[in-house]
Amino acid sequence: MSAILDHLPEFWQGLTVTLQLTAASFLGAAVVGLVITAMRVSPVGVLRGIGTAYVETFQNLPLLVLLVLAVFGLPEVGIKADLLVTAIVVIALYEAAYIAEALRSGVNAVSTGQGEAARALGLTFGQSLRHVILPQALRTVVQPLGNIFIALTMNTSLAAAVGVVDLTAAANRVNLMEAQPIPIFVGAGLAYALIAACAGFVTGRLERRLVVVR
Partner 1 sequence: MVSMKRMAAVAAVSMIGLSACSGTDSGSPAVPGEAKGGDLLAKAPVAAAADILPGSTMEKIKQRGELIVGGSLDAPLLSQQNPTTGEVEGFDADMGKALAKYILGEPKVKIVNSASETREALLSNGTVDVVFQTYTITPERAKQVAFAGPYYSSGLSLAVRKGTTGITKPEDLNGKTVIAGANTPAIPAIKKVAPQAKIVTFGGDPECIQALKQERGDVYVQDETLLVANAKKDPSVQVVGSPFTTDPYGIGLKHGDEQFKKFVNDWLKKIQADGLWQQTWKNSLGTVVQGEAPAPPQIGSVPGS
Contact (Cβ atoms closer than 8 angstroms) between residue 118 and residue 132: yes
CB nearer to partner 1: give 90 or 165.
Answer: 165
Tell me the residue type at 34.
L
Helix (H) or strand (E) holding 64: helix 63-68
CB nearer to partner 1: give 182 or 213.
Answer: 182
83-112 residues near partner 1, rule: CB under 8 A = 83
58-87 residues near partner 1, rule: CB under 8 A = 68, 72, 75-76, 80, 83
When asked if residue 12 is in the footprint of partner 1 (CB under 8 A), the reply is no
What are the b/e assignments for 125-134, b being 16+ CB within 10 Å? beebbeebbb
User: What is the distance between the alpha carbons of residues 123 and 127, in angstroms, rounded to a whole number?
Assistant: 6
Which of 120, 103, 40 lies closest to 128, judged by CA?
A: 120
x/- map, 155-184, partner 1, by CB under 8 A: -----xxxx-x---x--xx-xxxxxxxx--
When asked if residue 126 is in the footprint of partner 1 (CB under 8 A), the reply is no
Least distance from C-beta 164 to partner 1, angstroms?
9
Which of 145, 168, 12, 160 lies closest to 87, judged by CA?
A: 160
- Span interacting with partner 1, options 97-105, 112-120, 124-132, 154-162, rule CB under 8 A: 154-162
When asked if residue 39 is in the footprint of partner 1 (CB under 8 A), the reply is no
Which of 129, 125, 131 lies closest to 107, judged by CA?
A: 129
CB nearer to partner 1: give 78 or 113.
Answer: 78
Query: Which residues bind to partner 1, rule: CB under 8 A?
Result: 68, 72, 75-76, 80, 83, 160-163, 165, 169, 172-173, 175-182, 185
